[in-house]
Amino acid sequence: MFNKSRLLRKIALSCALLPISLVANAFSIHGLDGKCLDVRFSNTANGTPVQLWDCNGSDAQNWYFDRGRVIGIGGKCLDVQYAITSNGTPVQIWDCNGTPAQNWGFIDNSFLGLAGRCLDVRSANSNNGTPVQIWDCVNQPQQKWWLAN
C-alpha cells in the first residue's frame, strides 16, 4: 500500500542532504559604491563579522540562497548577532540553525531580516572593512543591494 507520509519524509531527507551548490548557484552581493558583502578575512568561525569590501571573487564573497537563508563561506549563515533586534546590531556568520536571526527576504533591492530591519552598511561608509548591521529600513543607498554571479 502507498504510504504518502513515508514518501514525503524520504523526499525531505534527500533534499536536506543535498550540497548547497546543488540548491543554488553562487552569487556576489553588491552594495554601497559597488562593493561586495564580504566575510572578514575569509574566516569561517562562528561570529566572524560581515563587512563591505572591494569585490574580488573570493570565497568570502560567494553567497547562496536556501529556504530564506543567505549562506556563505564554510556553509555558514548570514546571522544577526545574538538575535538582537535593535538598530546597529552587527551581522555575522554562524552555523545555520533555523532561527529568525538567519531568515532574510530580498525585496526592492533590500535584504529584510530580523524584526523587519534592513541589511545596512554602518554610517553609509563605503571604506573597505566597514561593518554591516541591521537598521530600520530607510530606502537609502547604504541599504540597497544587487546580486551578480
In this prediction, residues 57-75 reach a mean pLDDT of 96
Give residue-wise pLDDT tens across range 78-128: 999 999 999 999 999 999 999 999 999 999 999 999 999 999 999 999 999
The residue whose grid cell reads 524520504 is: 10
Instruction: Decide if pLDDT at 19 tops 70.
Output: no
Neighbour count for residue 58 (Cβ, 10 Å): 14
**40 φ, ψ (degrees, to nearest 5):** -55, 125
Cβ atoms 120, 99 nearer than 8 A: no
Cβ atoms 38, 60 nearer than 8 A: yes
Given its phi and psi angles, is residue 86 left (phi above 0), alpha (psi -120 to 50 degrees) or beta?
Answer: beta
pLDDT value of residue 24:
56
Rounded distance, CA 66 to CA 34, Å?
24
Q: Which of 130, 121, 85, 124 is nearest to 103 (CA)?
A: 85
Q: Does domain 24-148 match CATH 2.80.10.50?
A: yes
Grid coordinates of 133: 548591521
Annotated domain spans of the chain: 24-148
Please provide the size of the chain in residues: 149
**101 φ, ψ (degrees, to nearest 5):** -65, -10
